[in-house]
Structure 1
Amino acid sequence: MRLEAPFWWYRERGALASALAPLGRLFGRLAERRAARVTPYRSRLPVICIGNLTAGGGGKTPTALAVAALLGEFGARACFLTRGYGGTSEGPLLVRKEHSASEVGDEPLLLAEAAPTIVSADRVAGAKAIEATEASVIVMDDGFQNPSLVKDLSLIVVDAGVGLGNELIMPAGPLRAPLDAQLGRADALVVIGSGDKAASLADAFKAQSKPVFTARIVSRQDSRWLRVLPVIGFAGIANPQKFFATLGTNGAGLEEKRAFPDHYRYTNREAAALLKLAKDRKAMLVTTEKDWVRLPDEEGTPLGELKFRSRPFAIAVQFDDAAGVKELLAATITKATA
């Protein structure tokens, strides 16, 4: 299934978005009514949710990893809770090295490298599974709009270069629910990258005396290897152009860019085409960590060869005020466990 944001979501409100707006408002009202009928479960562990207000990506997974690292600095033992989008497992399932992206999704494999990770379509069942472990705090990667589990802190992530698009509710725009209702449930905002598309959202948080943090995407490795050969970048994530820009910022000489939809499953034909392009251009193939873990470990196929011959570029979210984020996390845990 191709997962692409409709072109009208991130443009000025045109005729198509305006025509769909009433349907979006209806969708939003129905979602709020369903949420109001749910009696949420309160875990005995603090729950910190990393979410966003729109459909698609925005940096939730690297932000969740950065939050878990800060929690570890003051002795908290994080366990990630995630839906495992794109995987077949409904869970609750503890992610292990032998699992594949087709089983648990791509993001859980990245999370599991940093801390124990539970995949569970049922967030309450997942939280209860984590309660039976040695974890002292649950970090949710996504799930902000899921009302079944009480969150002690909801940290909203937004891309500064994208913002909220036309600020309409799906299908007219990218919002998952009415903006005012979502702002009421949010506790803090993280604006990632450069740009002014999220300025009005940051102002709305500040107007409610809610903290706003800024962060940057940085390399987790020495990036000099990017300059050895020309680079062909390929990515199947929510915002491939952001990945390509990051490669360029780190010195890559991009010969070609190949963008695919989020969570994309490459075909052998596409893999063969990428391999041929790299051979013809005498270039190296570079992709995201998410894309790389989705490629199968198999011999004798173009997909297996693509994984062998491509290299993932590892990134991380770096908070500009890490001390402030850490203070917020510590206060949240203290309050939740009092």
Structure 2
Amino acid sequence: MRAPGFWWREAPTPAARLLGPVGALYGALAARRMARAGAAPPCPVVCIGNFSLGGAGKTPTALAVAALLRGLGRRPAFLSRGYGGRLPGPVRVESGRHRADDVGDEPLLLARAAPAIVARDRVAGAQACIEAGADIVVMDDGLQNPSLAKDLAIAVFDGAVGLGNGRVFPAGPLRAPADGQWRRIHAALVIGEGAPGARVLAQARERGVPALSGRLVPDPAVAAALAGRPVLAFAGIGRPEKFFATLRDIGADLRGTRTFPDHHAFTAAEADALAAQAAAQGLLLVTTEKDRVRLPATMPVTTLPVVLALDEPEALGALLRGL
């Protein structure tokens, strides 16, 4: 789904007020669910989640956490629900065997860095991680899922939007009331700049929660190759405009953009139309890594990889070292 614009306006709009009672009911149910005790995991679990629907940078964060853990001598494996995939799991993701419609898009990216398990049953998925050789689980999403106890829960926030209007879905972007979610995390990570993100960091400090910050950095070689190139960019992620802004920042000549819902399952016709438009206009077709795995392998499209650069990696390292 595409997030409605009123979610990101701090002052409540008529639409937010109208949907407020539904949000209150949804939030009460979500809070009750989150309060359940989770099963004890077979090894430490690091959960990378967010308070809101949509993207905030969880997958780059999960990859960065796994890299830090490897530097500490640990053997991480990723655990994901596999949103958008048809396989219930537990199943170990294999890039040559599985597609996005099998296991979802994020697990295909995670599997490039470490064993990745897709499982709707998180407890069974954690056991599968152990069987894959892990001694610690990095769970991509699942903050609101109570089935598995978490040793370290990190909430990721987009600095440009923060908590949005602070209301619960569908009146706002929150998956559950913010106060209850704050009580269940051990660290807050704000990615990118912006006053909303600065307010999140201030709230974290007021609550005694470690406040971390960072930014997504484009691959320098790809960024240099795209500088000055006329491009047609498209994305089906939580906030496509973030991707388009990144392209402008690296100097790409953005001639056109197309937006799709998050986790959009591209049809063959859509892929053909995008390729045809780019060819007809003499433009380079560019998208995100996450979108690329949902497209035909033969489609002529360039991707711009990004990685998380932490402002103080030692602060996150200290949290991980204690597990």
Question: What SS does the corresponding residue of 1:169 show, helix, strand or coil?
Answer: coil
Question: What SS does the corresponding residue of 2:21 show, helix, strand or coil?
Answer: helix
Residue 136 (structure 2) pairs with residue 140 (structure 1): no
Residue 322 (structure 2) pairs with residue 328 (structure 1): no
State how far apart, in whole Å, the 2-side matches of 1:166 and 1:227 are: 36
1:48-107: CA deviation from partner (whole Å, max 9, x where unpaired): 000000111110001100111111111111100001111101100000122111100110
Where do 5+ consecutive residues of structure 1 fail to align? Answer: 298-303, 334-338
State how far apart, in whole Å, the 1-side matches of 2:220 and 2:103 are: 26
State how far apart, in whole Å, the 2-side matches of 1:35 and 1:66 are: 26
Partner of 2:130: 131
Q: C-alpha displacement at 1:7, in angstroms?
A: 2.9
Partner of 1:94: 92
State how far apart, in whole Å, the 1-side matches of 2:33 and 2:246 are: 40
State how far apart, in whole Å, the 1-side matches of 2:131 and 2:39 are: 16
Partner of 2:307: 316
Equivalent pair of 1:45/1:138 in contact (CA under 8 Å): yes
4+ residue runs over 6 A deviation: none
Partner of 1:173: 172
1:68 to 66, 69, 75: 66
Equivalent pair of 2:37/2:149 in contact (CA under 8 Å): no
Q: C-alpha displacement at 1:228, in angstroms?
A: 5.8
Give the aligned length. Answer: 320
Residue 70 (structure 2) pairs with residue 80 (structure 1): no
Partner of 1:6: 4
Q: C-alpha displacement at 1:280, in angstroms?
A: 2.4
Partner of 1:208: 207
State how far apart, in whole Å, the 2-side matches of 1:165 and 1:135 are: 36
Shift in alpha-carbon separation, 1:28–1:122, aligned structure 2, 3 A: same
State how far apart, in whole Å, the 1-side matches of 2:272 and 2:28 are: 46
State how far apart, in whole Å, the 1-side matches of 2:183 and 2:227 are: 46
Q: C-alpha displacement at 1:171, in angstroms?
A: 1.1
Question: What SS does the corresponding residue of 1:69 show, helix, strand or coil?
Answer: helix
State how far apart, in whole Å, the 2-side matches of 1:238 and 1:246 are: 15
Partner of 2:238: 238
Report the TM-score, using the length of structure 1 for normalisation: 0.91
Partner of 1:103: 102
Q: C-alpha displacement at 1:256, in angstroms?
A: 0.8
Q: C-alpha displacement at 1:159, in angstroms?
A: 0.5
Q: C-alpha displacement at 1:259, in angstroms?
A: 1.1
Q: C-alpha displacement at 1:157, in angstroms?
A: 0.4
One-letter code aligned to 2:40:
R
Equivalent pair of 1:155/1:186 in contact (CA under 8 Å): yes
Q: State the Cα RMSD in Å.
A: 1.3
Q: C-alpha displacement at 1:6, in angstroms?
A: 2.5
Partner of 2:283: 283
One-letter code aligned to 2:279:
K
Shift in alpha-carbon separation, 1:134–1:267, aligned structure 2, 3 A: closer
Partner of 1:195: 194
Equivalent pair of 1:221/1:314 in contact (CA under 8 Å): no
1:262-291: CA deviation from partner (whole Å, max 9, x where unpaired): 011222332232222212221111100011
One-letter code aligned to 2:28:
R
1:108-141: CA deviation from partner (whole Å, max 9, x where unpaired): 0000000000001111110121122321110000
State how far apart, in whole Å, the 1-side matches of 2:30 and 2:109 are: 30
State how far apart, in whole Å, the 2-side matches of 1:40 and 1:274 are: 45
Report the TM-score, using the length of structure 2 for normalisation: 0.96
Greater CA deviation, 159-168 or 212-221? 212-221
Identity, in percent, stands at 48
State how far apart, in whole Å, the 2-side matches of 1:202 and 1:15 are: 28
Equivalent pair of 1:234/1:286 in contact (CA under 8 Å): yes
One-letter code aligned to 1:64:
A
Question: What SS does the corresponding residue of 1:286 show, helix, strand or coil?
Answer: strand
Question: What SS does the corresponding residue of 1:185 show, helix, strand or coil?
Answer: coil
Question: What SS does the corresponding residue of 1:262 show, helix, strand or coil?
Answer: coil
Question: What SS does the corresponding residue of 1:91 show, helix, strand or coil?
Answer: coil
State how far apart, in whole Å, the 2-side matches of 1:71 and 1:260 are: 34
State how far apart, in whole Å, the 2-side matches of 1:54 and 1:101 are: 23
Partner of 1:56: 54
Question: What SS does the corresponding residue of 2:233 show, helix, strand or coil?
Answer: strand
Q: C-alpha displacement at 1:198, in angstroms?
A: 2.0
Q: C-alpha displacement at 1:232, in angstroms?
A: 0.9
Q: C-alpha displacement at 1:221, in angstroms?
A: 4.1
State how far apart, in whole Å, the 2-side matches of 1:22 and 1:78 are: 42
Partner of 2:148: 149
State how far apart, in whole Å, the 2-side matches of 1:127 and 1:107 are: 17
State how far apart, in whole Å, the 1-side matches of 2:51 and 2:84 are: 20
